[in-house]
Structure 1
Amino acid sequence: MQLDRRHSPRELPPQREVKKRLDWSFFKRFEFTPAESEARRPRALDFEHASLDDRVNADKYLLRLKHRQSKHPEIKSDPEEPLGSTFEEFLVEAMRDGDWFGGKFFRTTEHDDRWNGVDAVIEWPSPTAEGRPVRMAIDFSTSRNNGILHEKLQTINGMAKVKYFRSQIEHDENGKPLEVRAFFPKVILGADVDMMKQVAREGVMPGRDHPLRVLMLRQAKRQIDVQIRCAADHYLDMFWGEADLGPEAGEVCRQIRVASNPDAVVEALRNAPASAFARLFTKTQKETLDSCLRVQACLDPMIEETKSVQIPEPWNTMSQVSVNHQALSKVMPDTIRQR
């Protein structure tokens, strides 16, 4: 009997493999309309420390900005992939509710987000009874574009302005939370879409022991270290030599100039006598350096706590190939500009 070759297994058309699509449903809870997103932030109009005209003008500016940006919608490679704003809302909630950085978490107004590039502020109590709270400004980024990341990193060398800030630690003479317009050290914290895909697969909110928190702590630590190094180098470039500074200031200046890494600069500054500090830096320069040093002192215990943490797979591999994480965690002094 002759076989019917039309049904021969060899001649059957190959079956196409169906690629399973990633389930992004975990991020649905962080998707908000523009109006909902705005309602989740404090409004400039609610702050009393700025004049009413200032606050009204801030709102008018935002309306114009939103109108311009609505003509340029965000482009995505995958139509089911959440928007960058959704990832930002996730990072805000994870960092705030998961207590990733300790201290108090303040979500900035939309004005400070769009105009000053600050999404949030972390506020720690002062390490001394008479001191002021320690504050660090944060800008989130999920970009994988080196140009965009480089542009963002150029904004961190110097104090970031926050026009509308409400303290959760400090109070005014009437016992109300202190409202101020101030300048804080700033860091860019980020995670790209590949990391967000892994979060979607895990399907749970990351806590303090999550790899994403460890990676962001390292990003913040590196950026603050580099800011201290750049600021010290920039200020000391104004001196021709150590001999004219006196023995104490001259020695501090020498230690900073020969330092091979940011940690050595920090050590020299921390151990510098007050008289040497006063001789080397102006009041504004001292305030900038002091703010960065105080932020670093708040980060150091958390960094120390996570030093022995082994980043598990696939997070370890992702962090090594991530353009976003590599740019933010290995920033070099010449990447950021002096302002």
Structure 2
Amino acid sequence: TETLMSAQSMVEGYWVRFVVKNNLTTSSIGLMHNFNFEKKLYVKNSLGVAVYPHWKYGEHPFLGERRIGEQYWIVMPQNEETVIYDFFRSQPFDRYMSMVNGLDRMTIGSWEVIRVNVFIRFASNIGIVTPALFFGFYFFFMYLVSKGNYLWISLPLFHIATLRFFVLIARYTGVSPLFIFGDMVYVYYGSLFLLLIQFLRKVLNLKENYPKINKLFLLGICFYTFIVALNTFTSLSWPHEEQLNLIKHPPDRLGPGIINPYLMFIPFAVLFLLSIILSFISWRKGSSSSGYLCLSFLLPFLSIPLAGIIYLIVGFNWLFWLIFPPAVALLFLSMFVTFG
């Protein structure tokens, strides 16, 4: 019907029926969903009908019977067709999702591969949080001993560890979706950009070396302070109509909030590129420390050739997204480590 075909079905819930023929050498199959927060499955084959209990994020444990979160272990006899009835609902709706290839995206493979994928994702998050905290404390203690700019290196590292925990790891512990795909995400990112801009001001000594450009950076700090304040206020009434009424607010993959994440990133990107140019100019004028800063600033850009290498090796699939984001995060962390 028209109701079932509309985007609103993703909020109200809908069922999908599909048939899978198992041509693998194992009957232990994994069904991986794309960031679903509510599931129920019926599986029918020659073994009978298997009913999987209803699971909802935040209300039921992440680890359950024959599943890890929204990833399910299904027994499919080899060389047979298995019918699966799969329930989808995102209430409130995750506005980073699209109408197609968003909430509905699934991956089917051996359960061993799916299970390893889940644990690697978790381990990669731990692998980023741990060094961020370690170096955050290291540079903070350096600041206590010798002062200088170490404080402005440690604070972004602490923030990255906190951001990574609440946005990625916290979904395993049932933290409110407000902190995963709600307005509070922009509070985290806005305050991170604010700290990073202040860090760039300090390491480049803009107040003395480039006082006019320093005013531009201060304007950036004011902008992200406004972003933090605005989204803190709007998060008090979350979820909003745009998360519940997809007829009036169709999915656009722009995320929640008044200012979407792509526009929010532009000012920082401009100031970051300007920082590279300024450090390069100072390097050319004879400042060896500025040359070191310039090279450190360039480390995150190694993610571009890295993406090409990963693509050539594994292709553009779930394995690409399993490897690429943690690698980029580690390059970003390495930039701070080299500053120290």
Same fold (TM over 0.5): no
Q: Give TM-score, length-normalised by structure 1.
A: 0.24
Structure with larger Rg: 1
Q: Give TM-score, length-normalised by structure 2.
A: 0.24
